[in-house]
Amino acid sequence: MTDESVHEGFAPRGSAAGTAGSAATAVTVATGLRGHLGPLTTGYDVAMLDLDGVVYVGADAVPGVPEALAEARREGMRLTFVTNNAARTTDAVAHHLTELGIEADADEVVNSAQVAAHYLSDRFPAGSPVLVIGGEGLFVALGDRGLRGVSSATESPVAVVQGYSPDVGWAMLAEGSVAIRAGALWVATNLDSTVPSPRGPLPGNGSMVAALRHATGVVPIATGKPDPTMHRETVERSGARAPLVVGDRLDTDIEGASAVGCDSILVLSGVTNPIDLLTAPPHHRATYLGRDVSALLFAHPDVVTVGDTTECAQWAVEVHDRTLTLRSRASPDGESPTEDGLDPLRALCGAAWAADPGGTDSSPWACVASDSASSQALKDLDLG
Ligand SMILES: [Mg+2]
C-alpha cells in the first residue's frame, strides 16, 4: 500500500507554534527527542494506544496501566486502541480491556483485521469469498465489509487474508498456499515477527507469513502498522487534532506514526530494549520515551545537543567515535529528575541520534560511565 499519499502531519496542542499561555510547550531539538513542559495529556487530545506490550502482555495488564489510563481520561485525553493483532473482534478486545479494569468501548478499538477487510472491500464486490488464515476477528471484519470469509481453497477465494491467531497451523497454511498459487490476492494484516508474552517474544504473524512466502515465492500486501492506513483510519474515526501514538515496537508503532506524521512515545513495557533504541534509524525514532503508559501523566525534559555533548536533566553524554560516555551533572535550575528514571536513556538516545542523523551506521554503540551514578544508571538500563 505504498500508493497512499503522505499525511501532512499533526502538531501537539501548545507546541512551540501553538497558543501563547498554553500549559504545555514543546521544544524541538536536533536529537529528535522532544521536551514537554506539562503532562502529555495536556498537549495531545487522543492517545492511539497499541495493545500487546503497551496495555497488556499476554492476558494480564501491564502493572499500573489501568490506573494510568483512567487518570489520562480524567485529564481529558481520549483513548483509542490500535492493534496489529487480528485474532479477536473489537467487541472481544473491549471486553478483555474492561475485565482488566480499563474502560473501553468496541468503537474505540481499531484492529488490523478491520483495516485489511476495508482494503479488500475497496477492491472486490460484496459477497466475494476470501480465504481466512487466522481467527474469528478476521471473519467478523470481512462480514462487516460485505465480504464472505471461507476456510477452504475449494471455494475459489478471490483473496487470502492472513492474521495472527494461536490457531493458525499447517492445514490453514496449506489452504492458503493452494489459493495463492491459483492467483488469489494475498493480504497480511501485519508483519510483526513476534508477539510479546510472559515467556518472552513468540512467533507473530510475520513469522507465519514468512513460512507461506517461503512455500509460494509470493510477497503479500501488508495493511497493518507501519502502513499509515491504520493510524489514518483511527485519526478519522476519533476526529483527533493532536494525536499521540503510544507503542512498544519500533518497526510497527513508531514507523507507523512517522508514516502518518504523528508524534509518538515508545514505552519499554513490550519488545524494545534500550540497546535497540540507540541504533534506531530516523523513522524508528520516537518523540518521547517512557517506561510504560504512565509516561502520559508527566512532563518530559528537553534533550539538547551542543557540539559533541547532549544534555538531559541531570545527565550529559559525550560522543567519540561509536562510544557514548554518560556522566551525572548538577541539577540545572533546580530541575528535578523525571520520575521514571529514564533521563539517562533520553540523554544517550539524543546523543546517539544527533551523532548519526541519517541512521546510516548500524554498528552497536558502546556505553561508558564516567562516575558511580552513571555506572548504576547504565546497569539499570542493561547498557553497562
Ligand atoms: Mg505491541
For residue 133, give the nearest of 111, 151, 108, 156 by alpha carbon.
Answer: 151
Distance 83 CA to ligand 1 centre (A): 7
Distance 148 CA to ligand 1 centre (A): 29
Q: What is the percentage of the chain residues whose pLDDT exceeds 90? A: 80
Is residue 39 reached through a cis peptide bond, with omega within 30 degrees of 0 on the bond before it?
Answer: no
Distance 192 CA to ligand 1 centre (A): 9
What is the rounded CA–CA span in Å between residue 202 and residue 215? 21
**Predicted pLDDT at 13:** 56
**Predicted pLDDT at 165:** 93
Q: What is the mean pLDDT of residues 278-293?
A: 96
Q: Is 273 exposed, middle or buried (0-12, 13-18, 19+ CB in 10 A)?
A: exposed
Q: Is 126 exposed, middle or buried (0-12, 13-18, 19+ CB in 10 A)?
A: exposed
Distance 252 CA to ligand 1 centre (A): 8
Distance 53 CA to ligand 1 centre (A): 5
Number of Cβ within 10 Å of residue 318's Cβ equals 16
What is the rounded CA–CA span in Å between residue 189 and residue 173? 15
Distance 50 CA to ligand 1 centre (A): 5
For residue 163, give the nearest of 154, 176, 152 by alpha carbon.
Answer: 176
Q: How many CA atoms does the CB half-sphere of 55 hold within 13 Å?
A: 27
Distance 175 CA to ligand 1 centre (A): 28
What is the rounded CA–CA span in Å between residue 22 and residue 43? 9
Q: What is the mean pLDDT of residues 3-9?
A: 42
Q: Judge whether 137 and 89 are in contact, CB under 8 Å.
A: yes
Active-site residue identified among 3, 45, 52, 343: 52
Digit-coded pLDDT (tens) for 107-153: 999 999 999 999 999 999 999 999 999 999 999 999 999 999 999 99
Query: What are the grid coordinates assigned to 232, written together?
Result: 489514518
Distance 289 CA to ligand 1 centre (A): 15
Q: Judge whether 247 and 254 are in contact, CB under 8 Å.
A: yes
Active-site residue identified among 45, 50, 263, 356: 50
Please give the domain boundaries of the chain with CATH numbers for all domains.
29-108+226-297 (3.40.50.1000), 113-222 (3.40.50.1000), 304-380 (3.30.300.290)
More confident residue, 248 or 26: 248
50 is annotated as an active-site residue: yes
Digit-coded pLDDT (tens) for 154-175: 999 999 999 999 999 999 999 9
Is residue 226 reached through a cis peptide bond, with omega within 30 degrees of 0 on the bond before it?
Answer: yes
Digit-coded pLDDT (tens) for 186-232: 999 999 898 878 898 899 999 999 999 999 999 999 999 999 889 99
pLDDT band, residue 9 (cuts 50/70/90): low
The position carrying cell 525514532 is 285
Q: Judge whether 44 and 244 are in contact, CB under 8 Å.
A: yes
227 is annotated as an active-site residue: no
What is the rounded CA–CA span in Å between residue 172 and residue 151? 8
Write the DSSP symbol of residue 133.
E
Number of Cβ within 10 Å of residue 75's Cβ equals 14
Q: Judge whether 120 and 72 are in contact, CB under 8 Å.
A: no
For residue 199, give the nearest of 86, 56, 58, 381 by alpha carbon.
Answer: 58
**What is the SS3 assignment for 246?**
strand
